Amino acid sequence: KKEVRLDNVSFSYRGGEHFSIEGMNLLIPAGKTTAIAGPSGAGKSTVADLVMGLVKPDKGHLSVDGTVISDKINLWRDQIGYVAQETFLFNESIRFNLLLAHPDAGEDELIEVLKLSASYDFVNKLPDKMDTVIGDRGVRLSGGEKQRLALARALLRKPSLLIMDEATSNLDSKNEKKILKAIDALHGEITILMIAHRFSTIKNADFIYMVNDGNILESGTWDKFARK
Ligand code: ADP
Ligand code: ADP
């Protein structure tokens, strides 16, 4: 688990005049769950891209455990587990999909991440368990099951930072709860960044940043926002 910060970061897209981030300060403390909330177009994905080093700040910097990340960006990216709305699972076996993240993982590690992601039970019910082929060529998984597998895959490399980028926004509340429960159980073990437009998704975050138009409008704990 690592502490990640954006310090005084400014950023704008080339050719995009209407949207910019100016002097953003964002702290994602080690082992805590930090959330970024805001409507569509607020800049949440852009902030995630800055945190991952996928885009470079025009001003300011990204730092991890106090070290500015500018050149060794690939080393940083390798430490991030990323789960998005789209799961990017292949129409291959569950084992194949997991091993893509970490080809050397042993059976016990696969089982561990299936358990951590609340996937273990449904995988065990599949005809060939971990060797069951999913997707067009095999068994159809529900949206919730796919997301849990995507989470399992993200956890396999023992990330220092786990980013859940609208990872539950396509799910109904029952399926969302299963994932959020798994995320809660990881609390303290991994630094977590949750990104969501739906406010209820981030109820259990330690600290929330509300963003719009590239700005942090307000930040604080859930209580502060729930009171309004
Ligand atoms: P406000 O705008 O409500 O004054 P601040 O951003 O000043 O909120 O932060 C309030 C407190 O929360 C400060 O003590 C700050 O250090 C702490 N804080 C800021 N970011 C985080 C975070 N991501 N996680 C936990 N605590 C934080
Ligand atoms: P959110 O994730 O909160 O929906 P985004 O970070 O995706 O917001 O987008 C913030 C703003 O930046 C939007 O106005 C969007 O159109 C714009 N934007 C996003 N990506 C690009 C890009 N590659 N080039 C230009 N503008 C972009």
Q: Which of 154, 132, 89 is nearest to 123 (CA)?
A: 132
Residues 206 and 178 sit within 8 Å (Cβ to Cβ) = no
| Rounded Cα distance, 74 and 107, in Å | 27
Average pLDDT on 68-76 reads: 91
Q: How far is the CA of 219 from the centre of ligand 1 (A)?
A: 7
Whether residue 102 is predicted with pLDDT greater than 90 in this model: the reply is yes
Q: How far is the CA of 167 from the centre of ligand 2 (A)?
A: 18
Residues 174 and 142 sit within 8 Å (Cβ to Cβ) = no
| pLDDT confidence band for 87 (50 / 70 / 90) | very high
* Each residue's pLDDT tens digit, 142-165: 999 999 999 999 999 999 999 999
| Rounded Cα distance, 192 and 164, in Å | 8
Q: Are strands 207-212 and 191-196 parallel, antiparallel or unpaired?
A: unpaired
Q: Evaluate whether ipTM surpasses 0.85.
A: no
The residue whose CA is least distant from atom 27 of ligand 2 is: 13
Q: How far is the CA of 159 from the centre of ligand 2 (A)?
A: 26
Assign 64 to helix, strand or coil. strand
- Ligand 1 atom closest to the Cα of residue 224 is 3
Q: Establish whether residue 84 lines the binding site of ligand 2, counting it when its CB lies within 6 angstroms of any ligand atom.
A: no
What is the per-residue DSSP string for 26-44?
EEE-TT-EEEEE--TTSSH
* Each residue's pLDDT tens digit, 184-214: 999 999 999 999 999 999 999 999 999 999 9
| Rounded Cα distance, 7 and 5, in Å | 6
| pLDDT confidence band for 104 (50 / 70 / 90) | very high
Neighbours of 123 (CB within 10 A): 24
Quote the radius of gyration of the chain (alpha carbons, Å): 18
Which amino acid belongs to residue 158? K
Q: Establish whether residue 219 lines the binding site of ligand 1, counting it when its CB lies within 6 angstroms of any ligand atom.
A: yes
